[in-house]
Amino acid sequence: MNTQYAVWFGLDVGKTSHHGCGLDPAGERVFDHELPQDEASLRDVITSLQDEHGRVLVIVDQPNTIGELPVAVARDCGADIAYLPGLAMRKAADLYPGQAKTDARDAFIIADTARTMPHTLRSVDRESDVLANLKVLAGTDEGLAHDITRAINRLRSLLLQIHPALERAFKRTVLTRSIVLDLLIRYRGPAGLRAAGKSGVKRWARNHTRKDPSALIDAIFDALAEQTLTVPGSQASESVVPRHAARIKALKAERAEIEAEAEE
């Protein structure tokens, strides 16, 4: 893909609005604003960038469904268009400071990744079989992402019902770490973890993860110590917890396969 652009315009696309970030060859922002999901607004921004700076590459994180209009407008404006696959996006995000996921941060990462790592991009061509395949894969990936979110919410809800302190110990993305899901599959919940004991759980975890799990296991057992009562329905809930944890693992693995196909 030709990298001689005056502006790399990253779009974090959304259902009702997008966030756009435009970077010049030096990486300086020339645009950084939210945009409504309508043709006129998108056209105004893209043509303004073209008039003021020159050749523009528009990069989207979703060429399908909610990304269809931005792609169509960019094409009609004569801009080049590219797609940054989800897996490449997440790998790139790890290289940037900050953990909070915001539309503005994502749009900047999309633009800067396109500017500095053009090999991660996929061309978006109206007649391309590659684009047709990407749309199918992107749609599947989007569906899997929603399925994962629902499964996580169900698992959190179960843990919150029977042991709020333990649910709090799995804050943010901790719950979806492989070792945490494996622990919940094996030990089921508070009762199973207590029965195995801290040393037993820590020993098992050390054999199933590359990183030292001590801090995680300490946090889990500190949380368990905060509640001595067994809430009614705990036994039934703990029988279901492993199923939800296993489903999240399976969905994540399936999504990784889809993302790998999109990157080929």
Query: CA 24 to CA 22: how far, in whole Å?
Result: 7
Tokens 């391309």 appear where?
Answer: 128
Where is pLDDT greater, at 86 or 5? Answer: 5
Q: In percent, how much of the chain has pLDDT > 70?
A: 94
CA distances in angstroms from 163 to 114, 168, 171, 193, listed in the order given: 44, 9, 14, 12
Query: Is the pLDDT confidence value at 128 over 80?
Result: no
Where is pLDDT greater, at 129 or 224? Answer: 224
* Structural domain spans, the chain: 7-126, 145-263
Q: Which distant-in-sequence residues (6+ apart) come within 8 Å of 100 by Cβ?
A: none
Where is pLDDT greater, at 250 or 130? Answer: 250
Query: Is the pLDDT confidence value at 144 over 50?
Result: yes
Query: CA 167 to CA 157: how far, in whole Å?
Result: 9
What is the structure's pLDDT at 224? 98
Q: What is the mean pLDDT of the chain?
A: 91
Q: Is the pTM of this model over 0.75?
A: no
CATH number of 7-126: 3.30.420.10
